[in-house]
């Protein structure tokens, strides 16, 4: 798990506050909402690299060691780490920033590697363009 500090010299692909509608019955943010943000974040550099449509093929794993609360600001950092013939693997790191009376606490929330596949107009795998 990354450190509890935002990565330096990197720009998050998504920054979004958790809303009350994103909470589970226990009052903390629903893990599925965070997983959705991770998938959206990973898809952005994957689609750019693929130069077109992609679908999510696989995700390695998720762990949630600390809760996220309504109002926390979620930041997702995503980076292409591997390009295959038709697949693109993206690593995503997620941080939450909790703000109380002007004091900001940053926590590493989760990370995952996701495999996206470039698809053609029939939904079949297509080769990722060479760079």
Are 21 and 30 in contact by the 8 Å Cβ rule? The answer is no
Residue 50: left if φ>0, alpha if ψ -120 to 50, beta else—which one? alpha
Written as one string, the DSSP assignment of 32-98 is: HHHHHHHHHHHHHHHHHHHTS-EEEEEE------S---TTPEEEEEEEEEEE-SSEEEEEEEEEEEE
Among 92, 93, 117, 126, binds ligand COA (CB under 6 A): 117
Per CB under 6 A, 81 contacts ligand COA: no
Choose the binding region for ligand COA from 23-31, 65-73, 83-91, 99-107 (rule: CB under 6 A). 83-91
Helix (H, G, I), strand (E, B) or coil at 111: strand
Q: Which is nearer to ligand COA, 15 or 85 (CB)?
A: 85
Per CB under 6 A, 51 contacts ligand COA: no
Binding mask 11-50 for ligand COA (x = CB under 6 A): ----------------------------------------
Per CB under 6 A, 109 contacts ligand COA: no
Extract the tokens encoding 1. Answer: 């798990």
Choose the binding region for ligand COA from 5-13, 24-32, 52-60, 70-78 (rule: CB under 6 A). 52-60
- Closest distance of CB 54 from ligand COA, Å: 8
Residue 71: left if φ>0, alpha if ψ -120 to 50, beta else—which one? left
Site residues for ligand COA per CB under 6 A: 55-58, 84-87, 115, 117, 119, 123, 125
């Amino acid at each position: 798990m990354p450190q509890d500090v935002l990565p330096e010299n990197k720009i998050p692909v998504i920054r979004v506050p958790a809303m009350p509608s994103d909470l589970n019955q226990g009052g903390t943010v629903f893990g599925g909402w965070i997983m959705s943000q991770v998938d959206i974040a990973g898809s952005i550099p994957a689609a750019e690299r693929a130069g077109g449509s992609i679908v999510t093929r696989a995700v390695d794993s998720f762990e949630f060691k600390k809760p996220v609360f309504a109002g926390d600001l979620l930041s997702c950092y995503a980076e292409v780490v591997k390009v295959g013939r038709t697949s693109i693997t993206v690593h995503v790191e997620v941080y939450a920033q909790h703000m109380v009376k002007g004091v900001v606490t940053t926590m590493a929330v989760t990370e995952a590697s996701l495999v996206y596949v470039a698809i053609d107009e029939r939904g079949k795998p297509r080769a990722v363009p060479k760079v």
